[in-house]
Chains A and B, each alone.
Chain A
Amino acid sequence: AQKVTQAQTEISVVEKEDVTLDCVYETRDTTYYLFWYKQPPSGELVFLIRRNSFDEQNEISGRYSWNFQKSTSSFNFTITASQVVDSAVYFCALSEAGDSSYKLIFGSGTRLLVRP
C-alpha cells in the first residue's frame, strides 16, 4: 500500500495564481514526521519543511504555507502568488519513528508548471 499519495501528477497555473499541492499519508505510528522537498529542473532535492505528528499548527514561510490535518491524514502545501521560479517537482515524504531505518518514504511527486 502506498504510504504517501500525491494524486496530482501535474498542475499548470498562470503566474500570480495560488496553488495547493495535496499530500495524503498513511501510517500506524503515532510518532512520525512529514516533509516537503522541491526538485527544480536542475535536479537537486531542496528541503522545504519538516512537521512532526504532534504539531498540527499550520506554518507560513513567505509565499509558502502548509496545512497539516491529522483527521484526514493530509499535509497540503500552498504557494500564494506563484512565480515562474516555483516551477519544479514537489515531493511529500514521511518518516516513521517505528521504522528503524528512519528512511524517507516519498510520494510520486507533483510537477508544477507556472506560466508567465
Chain B
Amino acid sequence: DSGVTQTPKHLITATGQRVTLRCSPRSGDLSVYWYQQSLDQGLQFLIQYYNGEERAKGNILERFSAQQFPDLHSELNLSSLELGDSALYFCASSVDPGPQETQYFGPGTRLLVL
C-alpha cells in the first residue's frame, strides 16, 4: 500500500457526461501528479500540483481540469466524455516536486465511457 488513495476504483458512464476523480496523497506529500494509462498512449502525464498551485501541464485535454485543495487532496474533472477517454487514471504524490523525488502511485480509477 503506497499510502495514496483514489476514489472511485471503477467508474462507468456515458458519452457527454462529466465525472470527478478524487485523490488523497500520502501524509506529508505536497505534490500531486495525474497520469492517464490507455492502451494506445501508454502512461502519459496530465498535470501536476504543488501545495495547492498548478505547477505543470502535460498532454491534458481542455475538457479536463484539476485542482488541489487546502487539505492537499486533488480532484480531476473530466467533462464531455468521449469513448476515447476510457482509461486508467492514476494519481501519484511526492514530498516535493523534483526529478529526484519518488512518485508513489495510488491504485487508480478505471473509467469506462460507453
Residues in chain A within 8 A of chain B (CB atoms): 31-33, 35, 37, 42-47, 50, 52, 91, 93, 95-97, 99-109
- The residue on B at minimum CB distance from A53 is B99
CA distance A73 to B32 in the complex (A): 29
B18 within 8 A of A: no
A47, B99: Cβ atoms under 8 Å?
no
Would A50 and B105 be within 8 Å (CB), given that A43-B110, A101-B48, A103-B33 are in contact?
no
Q: Whole-angstrom distance between the alpha carbons of A37 and B108 in the complex?
A: 14
Q: Is the CB of A104 within 8 A of B2?
A: no
Contact residue among A46, A95, A107, A108 (Cβ-Cβ distance under 8 Å from B99): A95
Whether B105 lies near A96 (C-beta < 8 A) is no
Q: Is B53 an interface residue (CB 8 A)?
A: no
Q: Is B97 an interface residue (CB 8 A)?
A: yes
User: Is there an interface contact between B99 and A96, defined as CB atoms closer than 8 Å?
Assistant: yes
User: A44 contacts which chain B residues (CB < 8 A)?
Assistant: 2, 105-108
* Interface residue B70 (Cβ < 8 Å from any Cβ of A): no
Chain B residues, Cβ within 8 Å of A107: 42
A32–B99 CB distance below 8 A: yes
The answer to whether B58 touches A101 (Cβ under 8 A) is yes
Contact assessment for A103 and B88 in the assembled complex, using a CB-CB cutoff below 8 Å: no
Are A102 and B101 within 8 A (Cβ)?
Answer: yes
Please state if B42 and A101 are interface contacts (CB–CB under 8 Å). no
- Residues on the B chain within 8 Å of A99, using CB: 99
Of A47, A96, A101, A109, which one neighbours B104 at CB under 8 angstroms? A47
Measured between beta carbons, the chain A residues less than 8 angstroms from B102 are: 35, 47, 50
The answer to whether A47 touches B2 (Cβ under 8 A) is yes
